[in-house]
């Protein structure tokens, strides 16, 4: 079984899960959203699936053993989770040369613009009753690979606003942390 780093003490093992099922849940959260369609079309992809498969390819998700973990105290644990190591977040938010950083630090960086982030604010005002985010365990930390907006909403919410389950789909990734979402269609 996957060993969860000690600082994420509220995580509780639920069950193993296949990568195809993790990807299907991700698709259900995102693929229908018009703003994501614009995002993948601008990058030259034909579909959400093609775009996201290209995005996640650097971690080789289909080769990993995935498991679902309930986060029993998201308000305590999510600030310690690391943000998505993507080209977009690295260019637009993280300090130069930083690949990823804890969500609590990202929230601090975004404080002046945070109220302007309509996506995060909309999620905070109507947080899903059940949500599953995706991450990897890498070098003693959990690093998101999907779910930044929901995670940033969690970091800035109060406990009483979270009504249902928050679940992380996790796999071990001992290799060097890759940058996900690197490219466009060639």
* Residue 5 in domain: no
Task: Enumerate residues 6+ apart whose C-beta is below 8 A from 47.
Answer: 40
* Residue 109 in domain: yes
Task: Enumerate residues 6+ apart whose C-beta is below 8 A from 152.
Answer: 103, 106, 107, 110, 117, 120
Task: Enumerate residues 6+ apart whose C-beta is below 8 A from 21.
Answer: none
* Residue 184 in domain: no
What whole-number distance in Å separates Cα of residue 46 and Cα of residue 3? 38
In the chain, how many domains are there?
Answer: 1
Whole-structure pTM value:
0.92
* Residue 59 in domain: yes
* Residue 183 in domain: no
Per-residue burial over 26-44, b if 16 or more Cβ lie within 10 Å, else e, is beebbbeeeeebeebeeee
The boundaries of the domain holding residue 121 are: 11-172
Give the confidence band of 183 by pLDDT, cuts at 50, 70, 90.
Answer: low
Task: Enumerate residues 6+ apart whose C-beta is below 8 A from 82.
Answer: 100, 101, 102, 103, 141, 142, 143, 144
User: Which of these, 62, 82, 97, 69, lies nearest to 12 by C-alpha position?
Assistant: 69
The per-residue pLDDT for range 48-107, each reduced to its tens digit, is 999 999 999 999 999 999 999 999 999 999 999 999 999 889 988 899 999 999 999 999
* Residue 181 in domain: no
* Residue 1 in domain: no
β 166-172/131-138 pair status? parallel
Q: Percent of the chain at pLDDT above 90?
A: 69
What whole-number distance in Å separates Cα of residue 103 and Cα of residue 67? 22
Q: How many residues does the chain have?
A: 186
The per-residue pLDDT for range 96-139, each reduced to its tens digit, is 999 999 999 999 888 765 445 678 888 888 888 899 999 999 99
DSSP 8-state symbol, 176: P
* Residue 186 in domain: no
């Amino acid at each position: 079984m996957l060993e969860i780093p000690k600082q994420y003490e509220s995580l509780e093992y639920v069950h193993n899960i296949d990568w195809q099922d993790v990807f299907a849940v991700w698709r259900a959260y995102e693929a229908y959203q018009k703003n994501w369609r614009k995002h993948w079309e601008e990058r030259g992809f034909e579909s959400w699936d093609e775009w996201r498969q290209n995005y996640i390819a650097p971690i080789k998700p289909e080769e990993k053993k995935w498991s679902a973990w309930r986060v029993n105290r998201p308000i305590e644990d999510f600030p310690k989770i690391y943000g998505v190591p993507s080209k977009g977040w690295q260019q637009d938010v993280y300090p130069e040369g930083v690949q990823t950083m804890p969500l609590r630090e990202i929230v601090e960086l975004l404080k002046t613009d945070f109220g302007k982030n309509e996506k995060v604010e909309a999620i905070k005002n109507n947080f899903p009753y059940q949500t599953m985010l995706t991450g990897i365990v890498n070098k003693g930390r959990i690093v998101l690979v999907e779910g930044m907006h929901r995670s940033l909403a969690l970091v800035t919410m109060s406990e009483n606003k979270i009504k249902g389950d928050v679940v992380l789909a996790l796999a071990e990734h001992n290799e060097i942390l890759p940058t996900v979402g690197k490219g466009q269609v060639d």
